[in-house]
Amino acid sequence: MLDPARRADFEALDRADPLATKRDAFVISDDVIYLDGNSLGIPPRASLDSVRTAAENEWAGDLIGAWNTRDWIGLPGRLGDRVGRLIGAAAGQVLVCDSISVNLTKLLAAALQLRPGRSTVISPADNFPTDLYMAEGLSDLLGDDRCRLRTVPPEHLLTSVDDDTAVVMLTHVNFRTGAMFDLRSTTAAIQDRGALALWDLAHSAGAVPLSLDAANVDLAVGCGYKFLNGGPGAPAFLYVAERHLPQVSQPLTGWMGHARPFAFEPGYEPAEGIERFLSGTPSVLGCRALEGALDVFDGVTMADVRTKGTVLSQALISLVAESVPLAGLRLVSPADPARRGSQVSFAHPEAYALKEALIEAGVVGDFREPDLLRLGITPLYLRHVDIFDAVLRLEHTMTAEAYLDPRFRRRSKVT
Ligand SMILES: *Cc1c(COP(=O)(O)O)cnc(C)c1O
């Protein structure tokens, strides 16, 4: 068992933590240790204020006029540029809109269009399923000779890229293991073979430093509700490198992507810039929650977030490794922090029941099939002592065999 007196070391780390005050920006209870910010971030106070203002003052006050007076209509581009600053993208290349799934359809179609004569979409077989499903759907629609999904073992990803590969679609940080690709070298290797790189940044944006422009990324999508803390079902984002913009269009040609939506012309003409990747009306309340969440990142560097995230993750990994009662947990995340995003996953045959019992003990993580206990590390609101306390509670849950209670085996819809 870990010596509870060691908590003092973690308290000392908290006193020296330059990000410590950021915790006050969130609605967070000291009773819960939240290790699930990689699935749904905790609400930032500024998000709740922003939604309240948008509803009570703007919607209720200005009514439809707010589209102009509060520039609701400009939210996708304005927020896109703010997300751009967190992911190393210059202005005019990022939009906040729709879900990752919908945005993938737009970008996969755009990629196929940019590589006429090539029809294969390559993806690692362990990619997030929605990414694969959306490519399947596009393939069903366009036919195999125009769009064919080929899933490959991750270790054969680059050698699988051939003359027929239009685009390689891959997730930067694996949602199960937290394993992270090198953005720049992988992008370059894909492009060397004539294909485009389409990155899913769901577990990266707001968690690890990213330089999309510098890495010469072609296309990317990312999530608003995970490490960006934009709220349940927050709009996602998409990135299209400026060099591609003049040549690409996308198939979900709704009026908001038209050059002149309010001319109500019968024929479609895409907007000049990144706005051509819009489809329908922006979800204003969702955007406003995300806008407040982005305020929290003001004055924070992603390098500081990453540094703290690495310290927290390493502490978690080494405390679990030292703990005799936790010997049954097998680390499946890369041990090298440079190859890992901001989560730590352990395999255990009773991972689901453990995760449920842990929630009752005040530690919120999640479960991923078949046997993974997934613990997300969000440096903006987690303290070093939280990691220590979480491991103590995990030890207790394991030694008391609390997780063996049958009620912890009942599966909910969302795991
Ligand atoms: C969470 C997540 C998504 C979510 O997609 P939505 O369509 O926005 O629900 C997509 N890809 C990855 C890798 C994810 O982790």
Strands (E), 20-145: 33-34, 94-96, 120-124
The answer, as to whether pTM is greater than 0.95, is yes
101 lines ligand 1 (CB under 6 A): yes
Which ligand 1 atom minimizes the distance to the CA of 203? 15
State the catalytic residue, choosing from 10, 175, 225, 239: 225
Q: Which residues of the chain have pLDDT under 70?
A: none
pLDDT of residue 1: 87
**355 CA from centroid of ligand 1 (Å):** 21
* 3-state secondary structure at position 47: helix
Q: Compute the Cα dihedral for 141, 142, 147, 148 and give only its sign.
A: positive
Strands (E), 55-177: 94-96, 120-124, 148-152, 165-171
Sheet strand arrangement including 366-368: 330-331, 343-347, 372-376, 366-368
pLDDT of residue 310: 98
**328 CA from centroid of ligand 1 (Å):** 30
175 lines ligand 1 (CB under 6 A): yes
Q: Compute the Cα dihedral for 381, 383, 387, 389 and give only its sign.
A: negative
Q: Which residues are CB-contacts of 141 (< 8 A; sequence separation ≥ 6)?
A: 147
State the catalytic residue, choosing from 81, 98, 200, 366: 200
Asked if residues 285 and 234 have their Cβ atoms less than 8 Å apart, the reply is: no
Which position has the token pair 């795991």?
415
**235 CA from centroid of ligand 1 (Å):** 11
Which position has the token pair 């933590």?
17
Which position has the token pair 């973690």?
10
